[in-house]
Structure 1
Amino acid sequence: MTHLSDELLPTTRRALLHRLAVAQSEGRSPAVVGALVRDGRLVWSGARSMIDDHAPDADVQFRIGSITKTFVAVLVLRLRDEGLLDLADPVERHLPGTPADGATVAQLLSHSAGLAAETPGPWWERTDGALRPALADILEEERPRRHPVGRVHHYSNPTFALLGALVGRLRGEHWGEVLRREVLEPLGMDRTTLLPEHPHAGGFAVHPWADVMLPEPLTDTGLMAPAGQLWSTATDLAKWAAFLTGGDEKVLSAATVAEMRRPAVAPEPGDWSETYGLGLQLIQHEGRILHGHAGSMPGFSAGLWISETDGLAAIVLANATHGTRTTLVASELIALTAEHEPRLPEPWRPLPEVDERLLALTGPWYWGAAPHALRLRADRVLELAPLGQLGQFGRGSRFRAEPDGTWTGLDDYYAGETLRVVHAADGSVSHLDIGSFVLTREPYGPAEAIPGGLDPQGWQTF
């Protein structure tokens, strides 16, 4: 048996630090902090700074900008899972009198409500939230929408201000307090706060044509805070990355977290490089699909990205307004680690027990004349896959066992559809029914199981 330490190999650590050093140097950021999470554990952190022999560690706070939106989305989905709202609910049912009337909660979460990208002036990220004391102040009164509801993805910061207000309305207290009690404390994230707490980094703008800096204001953005207010650390965000990978029953189930990272809006035509789920961004980098979020506020940029396939997540935090491409750097930290230390597959193991009736269902099945294979997996999961060249005419899916003896599709074409085992009069298995599609043990046979029947002459040559 092989045992692997959580520690990364020295060559991997060196490669990660080198990439971080390049990011700090070329991005001209006063400081950059990076962290790498493997299988839910923080296994590396590093930093580079403009000050010799002094760099922030993984417990220094940085402003994380729009990564805040992932936290707000979790609060909304907690409300959904408790039955206090439905994602299909119109927003006005829970938050009446806003410019988002006519849009659903899901459309707010996926930035498809058509609302404006930003507030009316002044620039909300650099001004005190007291300038926008009411929800009516965060969107233009005459033209709050830029697109028809539900038609396109249009990123909108005021949208998440509305979602924060929705959480506050249904919980009866400020969304930040709800976040602390329901999410941060259960996950042990005691260094994630609405306002900075010592030690924290200062935020700077770097002159584009000279190596000089300008301090950025550290504002409390008030009602707009759900769009980008939070401060956090690499250590805390490592815990958040682990949560966004597998969930935590104290906060959200793994199934609900998986729902967050499912694309909710279509990408731009001809380009699947980025799309959006429910409060999570999805991007492609070097063939990998990553989920997470980028963030920026004056003086700061941040990126938290997760490769579920590799079991890896990376966090990059910088204290400069522009320059450090935190999403790219985080993506490359994942790629470097996967290249140096590819994930080992889980050992094959036999099932701990087997139901002979399920075992009898395995093997070849035919949708019409298209061959498929049905396999039995752990926890009574059935896996259907097309076979051979004719497989292009079939559809596959995994199916979860239900208490009533049926199975529910988990992915691809049959996601959410019901698989039933249909028995003949003598009790033997006749065929499988998946949403009215029939799969039989022989191509188009037995005839009595085939909708519409068969030509009485059967298979023939012409």
Structure 2
Amino acid sequence: MTSALIPLLPATERALLHRIAVAQSDGRAPSFAAGVARDGYPVWTAVRSAAGGRGESADTQYRIGSITKTFTAVLVMRLRDEGLLDLQDPLEKHLPGTDAGHATIAQLLAHSAGLSAESPAPWWERTPGSLRPELADVLGGQTRMHPPGRRHHYSNTGYTLLGSLVAAVRGASWEEVLRQEILEPLSLNRTSARPEAPYADGWAVHPWADALLPEPMEDLGLMAPAGQLWSTVADLCRFGAFLATGDNRVLSVSSLREMRTPAAPAENGESESTYGLGMQILRVNGRTLVGHGGSLPGFLAGLWVSVEDGIAAAALANATSGPLSAVVAAELVGIVAEAEPRIPEPWKPLSAVDQELLALTGPWYWGTYAFGVRLLPERGLELQPLRGAGRGARFVAEEDGTWTGLDGYYAGETLRVVRRADGSVLHLDLASFVFTREPYEPDAGVPGGVDPQGWRGLPG
């Protein structure tokens, strides 16, 4: 039985409930909802509401703010995978006429295009999008705050451009494309661009008194792709599971892996936090989390996924400040992962063994460094150092008989077998590095040659 089908232990459930109860109480949130999924299955949800509140449930919608950006990024990656654009294309190629046409699509996804963080006044999150009817009104000429590609500078305006890019390439509104290409295929039936009952009201809590003030809930217009969406903890956990495993109806696991890879330099002092393509990446207590935080006046949200542990957690509050939902969601992942470590799948032998590939396994040497090659399913290979730290990687088989690195130093690099005239293996070539069966094997094609006198002792 997989861990997904095993209920959480009562002690784990109590720890999760305690954490969100503290968040709601200390953060003075009118309500606080949270959920956890394990291996794609929901395993826990809970809601804490203020006395006399509306009685929010796990099916209550909250505004999720900038978690919307991850949805928008998935739509852009779909366009890339369909060959309709390249991530290195300048925006101008597909969305002409903006002042930010010099920025590449990859830079916009990674918040490294150098654009301004916010739209010009008035405060866009508390005013209707009708005040900014054109992209020029959103950008306000603030398109070169920093040199493109040089630093991570979070930009809501950049994701406005990406939403308009999706609409321009698809010939339909961002909202309609989102519904057809993500929400419906993933059955995110309680995620929408506008609130659908039951939904939580957004509140500001007075900093020095237990008093409430309703926050406006504006339609953000062109800024919608940066922060418009409403969702529930159940839908967010389902979306989080998709971010880990992929769904070929929406986006492949390889493209999601690309999104989860750091794409922008970290700010000074933020080595534990980086950004991929539409996803924030955190290192928390030795664990890598991917996802996004979100906020709009009246709402705080967080969605984090540990791909290695197979755990996704979402936390939502209807308060402008107070309970740090993104922090709590990350802590919920840690609570489950540490209390109930993932049960590994049973070991299974390969269904078929290619004898030619089997002959490539075992020890290889790069100079005097020892590595081991293992055979993986679907003709894949894994190269790992046999002692100490080193440049290990997994490789996926290509149709031309080579392999492409999936991770680590050799991600994207080509591994090929170099053979002698008689068909026997001369050496492995990996990104120009020669791996031989023996250290500096004399006839194996080591660049620079091998001293003909061979190995010797230290001269006296």
* TM-score between the two structures when normalised by the length of structure 1: 0.96
Return the alpha-carbon distance in structure 1 between the equivalents of residues 4 and 244 of structure 2: 21
How far does the alpha carbon of each residue in 1:397-421 deviate from its partner, in whole angstroms, 9 at most, with x for none? 1111112211111111211111111
Give the secondary-structure state (helix, strand or coil) at the position aligned to 2:184. Answer: helix
Q: Distance in 1 between matches of 2:158 and 2:250?
A: 23
SS at match of 1:187: coil
Q: Structure 2 CA distance, aligned partners of 1:30 and 1:2?
A: 37
Structure 2 CA distance for partners of 1:180 and 1:84, relative to 1, 3 Å: same
1:387 Cα deviation after fit: 1.8
1:133 and 2:133 correspond: yes
Comparing 237-246 with 82-91, which one deviates more in the overlay? 237-246
1:448: Cα distance to partner? 4.6
- Higher alpha-carbon deviation: 287-296 or 351-360: 351-360
Say yes or no: does 1:443 pair with 2:442.
Answer: no
Which amino acid letter does the alignment assign opposite residue 132 of structure 1?
R
Q: CA deviation at 1:334?
A: 1.0
**How far apart, in 2, do the equivalents of 1:453 and 1:297 lie?**
64
Q: CA RMSD in A?
A: 1.5
Q: Percent identity?
A: 62
What SS does the corresponding residue of 2:198 show, helix, strand or coil? coil
The 2-side partners of 1:240 and 1:129 are apart by 27
User: Mind listing any 5+ residue stretches in structure 2 that lack a counterpart?
Assistant: none
Q: Which amino acid aligns with 1:26?
A: D
* 8 Å contact from structure 1 (residues 90, 102) kept in 2: yes
SS of match in other structure, 1:161: helix
Name which of structure 1's ranges 108-117 and 400-409 shifts more when overlaid on structure 2: 400-409
TM-superposed CA distance for 1:422, in Å, is: 1.5
Indicate whether 1:355 and 2:363 are aligned: no
- 1:249 matches 2:248: yes
Match of 2:448 in 1: 452
Tell me the CA shift for residue 125 of structure 1. Answer: 0.3
- Post-superposition CA distance 1:291-344 (Å, at most 9, x none): 000000000000000011111010000000000101111111111111221111
Structure 1: distance between partners of 2:51 and 2:370: 65
What amino acid is the match of 1:156?
A: S
Range 417-426 or range 56-65, more displaced: 417-426
Equivalent-residue separation in structure 2 for 1:242 and 1:426 (angstroms): 49
Q: 2-side partners of 1:400 and 1:387: how far apart?
A: 21
1:229 is matched with which residue?
Answer: 228
* Residue 120 (str. 1) matches residue 120 (str. 2): yes
Contact kept? 1:440, 1:446, Cα under 8 Å? no
Gaps of 5+ in 1: none
Residues 2/161 of structure 1: CA separation in 2 closer, same or farther (3 Å cut): closer
The letter of the residue matching 2:87 is L
Partner residue, 1:56: 56
Matched, 1:310 2:309: yes
Of 374-383 and 305-314, deviating more is 374-383
Asked whether the 8 Å contact 2:30–2:53 carries over to 1, the reply is no
Aligned to 1:400: 396
Do the aligned residues in 1 keep the contact of 2:3 with 2:342 (CA within 8 Å)? no
- Residues 188 and 336 of structure 1: is their aligned pair in 2 closer, same or farther, counting only changes over 3 Å? same
After superposition, what is the alpha-carbon deviation per residue over 1:197-235, rounded to whole angstroms, capped at 9, x for unaligned? 111000000000000000001111111111101111112
For 1:226, what is the secondary structure of its paired residue?
helix
Kept in 2, the 8 Å contact 1:265–1:277? The answer is: yes
Aligned to 1:285: 284
- 1:161 corresponding residue in structure 2: 160
Offset at residue 51 of structure 1 (A): 2.4
* Equivalence map 1:45-444=2 (5 Å): 45-51=45-51, 55-141=55-141, 143-269=142-268, 271-388=270-387, 391-392=388-389, 394-444=390-440
Aligned length: 458
Tell me: CA distance 1:407–1:96, structure 2 relative to 1, closer, same or farther (3 Å): same
Structure 1 residues 313 and 132: CA distance shift in structure 2, 3 A = same
Quote the residue 2:34 is aligned against: 34
Deviations 1:55-80 (A, max 9, x none): 32221110000000011101111111
User: Could you tell me which amino acid in structure 2 is paired with residue 399 of structure 1?
Assistant: F
Alpha-carbon distance between aligned partners in 2 of 1:134 and 1:198, rounded to the nearest angstrom: 31
The Cα of 1:456 is off from its aligned counterpart by 2.0
Amino acid at match of 1:225: A
Moved more, 29-38 or 262-271: 262-271
SS at match of 1:186: coil
- 440-449 or 264-273: bigger deviation: 264-273
Distance 1:432 1:340, change over 3 A: same
Q: Residue 259 of structure 1 aligns to a residue in which SS?
A: helix
- Deviation for aligned residue 1:4: 7.0
Contact conserved, 1:47 with 1:57, CA < 8 A, in 2? Answer: yes
For 2:176 and 2:78, how far apart are their aligned partners in 1?
15
CA contact (8 A) 2:383 2:393 kept: yes
SS at match of 2:364: strand
